Amino acid sequence: MSEQQLSAEHIDVLLTAAVAAPSMHNTQPWRFEVSGHVIDLFLDGSRTLPAEDPTGRAMRIAAGAATFNLRCAAASLGYGTWLGEPEVHAVLDLVLDSDLREIHDWHRRAERARRPDSGTARRPVAEFLSTKEQS
């Protein structure tokens, strides 16, 4: 794994995607810490809703949605992600990964084959898989 720093531009893209996640009453009950290529997501206890969410379930679901958005944004930037320690907080390790880019390129080719020239070519997924296995 490479120990690269995330650029300020990439951090902005990643966190903008994360905070767009839905949360009860838009409380955004999370906070982020960025260190090198690692982004930690912590639940922010000061943003709890004791009457509406006494068990904190909705807060955890919102944090999961923020993590999901962050991981989607990371993939769009060409980063692989690793999620660890979900019981304590979400640790998202972002690493540029050439294999991941190859997978994304394959998905793009499959999507273009499925929808050439804005039309829809309906082909079974198995055809795409057999094409990938041959290459």
Q: Is residue 6 exposed (0-12), middle (13-18) or buried (19+ Cβ within 10 Å)?
A: buried
Answer whether 49's CB lies under 8 Å from 56's CB.
no
Output the pLDDT for position 118. 47
Q: What is the mean pLDDT of residues 93-102?
A: 50
* DSSP conformation class of 47: G
Output the pLDDT for position 20. 96
Output the pLDDT for position 23. 95
Considering all CA atoms of the chain, what is the largest pairwise distance in Å, rounded to the nearest integer?
57
- The torsion angles phi and psi of 108, rounded to 5 degrees, stand at -65, -45
pLDDT in tens, 34-90: 888 888 888 888 998 999 999 888 998 999 999 999 999 999 998 888 776 555 455
pTM over 0.85: no
